[in-house]
Structure 1
Amino acid sequence: MSDATSGTNNAWEDPRLRALEQLLALPAAELRPTLDQAGQLISEVLNAEKVDVFLIEHGTQCLVAVGTSQTPMARLQKSLGLDRQPLANGGRAVQVYETETPFISGRVEDDPLELPGIKQRLGVRSTLMAPLPIGMEMRGVLGVSSARNDFFTDNDLRFLQAAARWVGMVAHRAELVQELTKLAVKQARRKAAEELITVLAHDMANYLLPLQARIQLIHRRAARKQEPEDLRDAAGAAASLRSLTRLINDLLDVGRLDQGLFSLRVQPVDLAGLVRELATTASTSEHPVHFEGPEELVTVADPDRVRQVLENLVANALKHSPPGRPVDVKLEALARPEGPWVRVSVSDQGPGIPAELVTTLFERFIRGPGSTGLGIGLHLARRIAEAHGGTLEVAQTSSSGTRFELSLPVAAG
């Protein structure tokens, strides 16, 4: 090869190499502006009259020009609505996306498979298209157009295929940055909300004792005067106050867990007796709670905290059970390689938990279907189980019911 020929090849290659370098140097900002810049770079290198970065929009089954060169033909395309190409309409871009095969044509006006709007209204005569992978999947098409016949070469197509891979990397990076930014904002908002709620819970707790004392005075006065309506109202107010107290205590417990101030008062406890008593107390004529287990099963745990977990599970099961259907509570001993464990399962016959909620069910402030609480009960219950060295899981959920399982080592930490 002569020096002159070598120099010509280098001159041909350098602009393309620089363009690829510039593609990778694009800032990982928002996706659309990043792809717009990528389209403009490729348009300048290939002297094209339009470059599109088409991405599939699964909801509408359309290829959408998310990134486009800033050229008159690109602006005309948008005004004609040709920046959105439904898969059902066919066309060369759709074919390249579906077959993942690159395409080149210098006589688009004679191509029976191209969309009439591309040929007649945009006036495209030459086109290059390459499939566009982003991450681990095929996500779209990188397309280049010219209003002149036989304008592009096979070398241009090879360059476009390389550029498509690089554009895919740039797009993937931009999407990751967007997701990380959204996640950081979401976490910051949640953290601020959690801190605010904890402060409010502390302040509200200061008013509970005086309020409880007042309700007790009203109750005693009504009892002394034998006023049944006032007695009933006082009893209702006391029940509401107990619910409010439990809610505030749960919020404070979550804060203590986050701050490392949460502690357990572990001691030998007859878990069978504790669970049997809880089932008896929670059982009603409309929703019986059935207990199955041994007469006695002693373990080491914080009885108040274990009761707190089980009360939450049973209350949830009762809430979601159809009238007349029982809630089943089963206690059993387990033999595991690391030592003896105990397991309490709580089963209802409700509608089950939607699959999309199961993975986030134990996160704080995530409420299940039909729930009116703050969404901290299950989060706190799992944290208490983990503080004992145990686990709390959704063992089964379907249209015929849900089963939660609390598992604890016999010698709790």
Structure 2
Amino acid sequence: MNRIINKWTESSLILKIVIGLIIGSILGVFVPNWTIIGFPGEIFVSALKAIAPILVFVLVASAISKARTGIGSRFKTVIVLYLFSTFLSAMVAIIASTLFPVTIHLSDASTAAAPGGLGEVMSNMILGIFSNPIGLISEGHYLGILFWSIVFGIALKNIASDSTKDVVTDCANAVTLIVRGIIQFAPIGIMGLVFTSVSESGLGIFVQYSQLILLLVGCIAFVAFVTDPIISAVALRRNPYPLVLTCLRESGITAFFTRSSAANIPVNMQLCERLGLDRDFFSISIPLGATINMEGAAVTITVMTLAVCHTMGISVPLPVTVVLCIISTVGACGASGVAGGSLLLIPMACSLFGIPADVSMQAVAVGFIIGVIQDSCETALNSAGDALFSATAEYHDRRVNGEPVNFLGEFAK
């Protein structure tokens, strides 16, 4: 049995995931009624979502309690990269929507409640941070978890003995080991997720909204393969594509099928470790990125808003597009704290053009229809970007300070 386990863990995870993709697709086509095949996918996502808040709390608390000086500049850099890339993604969406205008059929409105504006989004975020820490962990509210774990880590740093800090570190190592065990089941879990998607999603509705889907996916692909690499190249002053492709392969593929940035936090942390990044840094930058690095969400909000404008014949002047970029960026950063994610922020952006809520909420309904593709691509871009910009920020900091840079860590071997 040990030999079988060792062979499984030592073999290529990506190869196993590809095999799982193929098997899940075949089973979804030929035996769509065997719903039990999709059950491992639900277990896999649930396990990742369950362990991720605990992992973030103990890793951040441990990192802060033993934090070294000299890595503060990395946090400034990664925050700038997160926000700038999200803003640039909204710009890409505006340019693409202008060049290739898309209209949508607005019919069935969604009954979900959307936030009234940026003030409500920011208020929900701030009030959520100061909620019960135990409740925040159970609900997976990562801004709140980050806040309380930092506070706890600072308190440990100031009053705890070294032995107490070592206990917290041991707890972090134990949770990390559990995460590694869960990730070993990724091929089986993804097989189940692919089976569910293939067996449940009909093709007719995707033909109806094919232009909208192509525009969204095209924008997301352009950001992933053009704008993000340019940002990384400017910071690193070297070819970014080995790092970009590694992050897309190791993080983006898993995020595409889990459709959850929170569930992909453990995957990204393991990736950052293999990239040779500082654990004190990435244990904070990755959950922070899962909250504020929302490139895909900015694309979705912008494209869907402009699709409604084109459908209603509303002209969009250039100065207003800049305001739309800002609204999409700030709103996207708050998407993780709003039920329904980025789609429910579309009415907020539509209000900039005076579009009534009952009309803009119909665009939300369209978003839910194409969500199988839209949300998967959006999450893949967001999650891969978390790892990419964490690595970019640390490699940049090392280069500026004249430190040796082990570019791609274990992947360079």
**Shorter-chain TM band:** under 0.3
Structure 1 length-normalised TM? 0.22
Q: Which has the higher contact order (CA 8 A, sep 6+)?
A: 2
Higher helix proportion? 2
Structure 2 length-normalised TM? 0.22
- CA radius of gyration, larger in: 1
